[in-house]
Amino acid sequence: IPVPTENGQFEILIDAIPGAEANGWVALDDLLLSPNAADCELKPPVATASPLPTTPLPTTNTPLPTTTEHTHVNSVACDFNYDLCGWKKINNDAQDDLEWQLGSSTIDDTGPEKDHTDGDGGQFLYVEHSQISNHTLTARTEIRSINITTEEGGVHCLKVWYWKNDNGKASFVINMYEAGTMSWISTLLELRSEDSDGDKWKKAQVEVGHIGKMQLGIIASAYKQWEGTIAIDDIGFSNKHCVPEHEVNGTLSCDFEESTLCGFQTHDPWTSTSWTWGTGGGEPFTDHTTNSNLGHKLYIRNSMTSGNEIARLISPDMTPLDKYFCYTFWYFILGEDTAQLAIHSRQNDEDSVELWATTGDHGFDWHGASVSGKADSVFK
């Protein structure tokens, strides 16, 4: 359709007016604006068009009108600049002091100076230690997403930017629940670091696999001795696999001291529990790298599961320099009821191959192990 315009700024407004029928649809696709109006003809012939004006339009560069009005949209993805996008605050205990707050700065200036979305002026969600009263020993707060429906075989990628700068007496957890109930399905992400993650925004991502309706819950919990702030911003949720943050050519070395975990994923979307990254956490009280309670490790405790559940740690994509590779690691297994620790390799979407496994109580020490494998293409 010819567009009547002269030099200067202009807008194109497209109006859709619903009819009386309840089962109709209007859709648009493939818009193209061309400067050659003389060669433009009206299509389809049944459409109507206003005649081109005979008087030239004003050529003054009048600024386009701006609007500050925001339309609320219920969505898992949210930048929190305007509202919670349908996420709802849930406090399981009326005495809980913690509560997720929406703002552009924290009350006592212990949190981020800027949000992650815009870098200045935007908002984020946060909790801080000043919310905990003197009579409280522990406190928690949670926000719950809208209902999500996943088809069979569907996988989602959940991303969240977080800011955790504290003395380590607080945790940050993302759980998956059955929609509309309080029934826990699995823990997708858990950060229980005993020290600060630093004064900066960091990204966490995890794949979510579940058939049917579900909800996501983001929980912050803290002890009375907690000092600091936890903040979240820019939640993303897409209907595809997460893109690995790392791809390794030939060699991979990781001491798990950084929260990026060298690209390892602590949760498999088709398992019900996750590995936890942090310091302390009970036996072993020290990590292998630093031999101190300040060093980080990945761990799982029997009390964190209901039994016979798999916690799967997945490496980033690795490209072999040769057909054969050697994998060396240190492990700690304590407890008679501990089931099994196993190493598998997998190429593309093929079935995994077990390379190494052990069971039973191995005492209070770290043990070294190595195993060889074969891969002629990218593998995990």
Q: Classify domain 246-380 by CATH architecture.
A: Sandwich (2.60)
Looking at the DSSP bridge assignments, the partners of residue 358 are: 341
What's the pLDDT score for residue 195? Answer: 46
For position 235, what pLDDT does the model report?
92
224-247 tens-digit pLDDT = 778 888 899 999 988 877 776 655
DSSP 16-50: ----S-TT-----------S-GGG---SSTT---P
Q: Are 318 and 378 in contact (CB under 8 A)?
A: yes
User: Residue 236 and residue 103: Cα distance in Å, rounded?
Assistant: 19
Q: Are 320 and 379 in contact (CB under 8 A)?
A: yes
Q: Decide the pairing of beta strands 276-278 and 184-192.
A: parallel
Residues 174 and 99: their CA atoms lie apart, in Å, by 16
Phi, psi of 39 (to 5 degrees): -95, 10
Structure confidence at residue 5 (pLDDT): 60
What's the CATH code, domain 72-243?
2.60.120.200
What pLDDT sits at residue 193? 56
For the entire predicted model, the pTM comes to: 0.54
Residues 30 and 67: their CA atoms lie apart, in Å, by 26
User: Which pLDDT score is estimated for 57?
Assistant: 43
Helix, strand, coil share (%) of the chain residues, nearest 5? 5, 35, 65
Q: Tens digit of pLDDT for each residue in 309-338? A: 788 888 888 877 777 788 889 999 887 666
Largest Cα separation within the chain, whole Å, is 91
Backbone phi and psi for residue 233, each to the nearest 5 degrees, phi listed first = -160, 160
Distances from the Cα of 230 to the Cαs of 80, 192, 279, 345, in angstroms? 15, 12, 18, 36
Topology match between the domains 72-243 and 246-380: yes
Write the single-letter amino acid at 190. E
Length of the chain: 380
Q: Domain segments of the chain: what residues?
A: 72-243, 246-380
Give counts: helices (H), strands (E), the chain.
0, 19
Burial of 183 (0-12, 13-18, 19+ CB in 10 A): exposed
Q: What is the pLDDT of residue 63?
A: 46
Low-confidence ranges of the chain (pLDDT < 50): 56-68, 195
Rounded distance between C-alpha atoms, residue 315 and residue 377, angstroms: 15
